[in-house]
């Protein structure tokens, strides 16, 4: 038998969380070796990297490192998921507070031209703390309602922090301040493109999926045809649709009046609709195929018609799988709608491509960050809906 001291040493070794060690290495190395903030005299000037001690007042830097050290200790030595989640959230708050304090500290008084943005160290530390929170949530396995409430709370806190003015010195918010009306319009357009295309795909894909379930011959023809659309790059598909839609808009004045043109929202909406068809059709057919034959036979035995069985038995039982397809295409189309800006379709991609053209990373972030947040929120909400349906009593 091993000596007691050796056994105790083995227990201490087992208590060390390997993922925590990796995350500490990522966050610590990034914060120590990469700039925490980047200062620019104006949006086109070259950036001056600032470390934590340069970006923050001495007391703020000491408090920040103390908070990061505390989170690192929990990440490595504490196995409780609740403690790890609390520590990761505290780390996010400390990081955001340090970024806000550093931006205010570096910004010259009364200067509206200076641009201060998070550097690579801040982004890597945010990634490490975010992965720690994700791991803790995966271990806790919160229920659907808890996830929705957590998302709502996170959104409310983010809105309050933005409204408070703490981050007004950051360059991305200065870009927003000069484009607030345009941002609101393009955000609405982005939601309409993604949501409208998915809604149209549900109306077309769900019946097609049901028909494919009933007819193996139709399934063998329809699914490979729809799969071909998935292989076409988004920019190429937008370009392919420009010619026929432009012709329709010219040949039929009513279509032109409704907005059907070679450029703009019409080709973007049609392309996103086509991309959404395959997952929705395939998941509908798959969900219906997984319905218990005994439940279907019992429904027929009760005298229900084929339509009544489909509507009252098969679709409710297949709904979790169908909603999984909706989640896939909604998240997909929120991302793809960004490319619609290249053909005049609008959306948050407008800021992304303007920023790329002007070499303004903060303008890119103004379009990219809300897009990521929108896709993440949609995924959380629909995942919660799927889990709630699966846990609901039959």
Give burial (CB, 10 Å; 0-12/13-18/19+) of 111: exposed
Q: How confident is the model at residue 201 (pLDDT cuts 50, 70, 90)?
A: very high
Radius of gyration of the chain from its Cα atoms, rounded to whole angstroms: 26
Q: How confident is the model at residue 86 (pLDDT cuts 50, 70, 90)?
A: very high
Q: Which domains does the chain have, with CATH numbers?
A: 4-141 (no CATH), 180-391 (1.10.3720.10)
Q: Is the pLDDT of residue 32 over 90?
A: no
Q: Give tens-digit pLDDT for 205-253.
A: 999 999 998 888 988 888 888 888 888 887 788 778 777 777 777 777 7
Phi, psi dihedral angles at 166 (to 5 degrees): -60, -30
What is the pLDDT of the chain when averaged over all its residues? Answer: 86
pTM: 0.84
Q: How confident is the model at residue 2 (pLDDT cuts 50, 70, 90)?
A: low
Q: Is the pLDDT of residue 6 over 90?
A: no
Q: Compute the average pLDDT of residues 299-313.
A: 83
Query: 78 to each of 18, 68, 84, 134, 199, how far by Cα in Å?
Result: 11, 15, 7, 16, 45
Q: Is the pLDDT of residue 43 over 80?
A: no
How many C-beta atoms lie closer than 10 Å to residue 221's C-beta?
Answer: 12
37-40 and 115-118 beta bridge pairing: antiparallel
């Amino acid at each position: 038998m091993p000596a007691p001291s050796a056994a105790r040493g083995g227990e201490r070794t087992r208590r060390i969380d390997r993922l925590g060690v990796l995350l500490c290495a990522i966050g610590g190395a990034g914060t120590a070796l990469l700039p925490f903030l980047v200062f620019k005299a104006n949006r086109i000037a070259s950036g001056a990297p600032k470390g934590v001690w340069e970006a923050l007042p001495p007391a703020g830097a000491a408090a920040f490192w103390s908070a990061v050290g505390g989170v690192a200790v929990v990440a490595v030595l504490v196995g409780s998921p609740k403690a790890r989640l609390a520590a990761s959230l505290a780390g996010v708050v400390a990081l955001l507070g340090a970024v806000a304090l550093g931006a205010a500290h570096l910004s010259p008084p009364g200067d509206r031209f200076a641009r201060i943005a998070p550097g690579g160290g801040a982004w890597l530390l945010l990634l490490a703390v975010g992965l720690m929170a994700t791991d803790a949530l995966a271990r806790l396995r919160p229920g659907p309602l808890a996830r929705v409430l957590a998302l709502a709370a996170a959104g409310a806190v983010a809105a309050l922090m933005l409204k408070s003015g703490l981050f007004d010195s950051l360059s991305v918010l200065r870009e927003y301040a000069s484009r607030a009306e345009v941002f609101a319009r393009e955000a609405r357009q982005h939601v309409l493109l993604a949501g409208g295309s998915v809604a149209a795909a549900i109306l077309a894909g769900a019946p097609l999926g049901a028909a494919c379930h009933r007819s193996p011959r139709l399934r063998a023809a329809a699914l490979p045809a729809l799969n071909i659309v998935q292989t076409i790059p988004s920019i190429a598909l937008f370009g392919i649709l420009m010619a026929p839609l432009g012709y329709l808009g010219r040949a039929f004045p009513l279509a032109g009046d409704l907005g059907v043109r070679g450029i703009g929202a019409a080709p973007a909406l049609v392309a996103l609709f086509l991309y959404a068809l395959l997952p929705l059709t395939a998941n509908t057919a798959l969900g219906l195929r997984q319905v218990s034959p005994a439940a279907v036979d019992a429904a027929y035995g009760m005298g229900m018609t084929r339509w009544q069985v489909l509507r009252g038995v098969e679709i409710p039982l297949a709904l979790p799988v169908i909603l999984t397809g909706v989640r896939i295409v909604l998240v997909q189309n929120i991302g793809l709608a960004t490319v619609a800006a290249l053909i005049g379709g609008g959306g948050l991609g407008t800021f992304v491509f303007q920023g790329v053209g002007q070499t303004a990373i903060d303008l890119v972030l103004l379009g990219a960050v809300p897009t990521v947040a929108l896709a993440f929120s949609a995924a959380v909400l629909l995942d919660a809906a799927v889990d709630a349906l699966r846990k609901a009593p039959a």
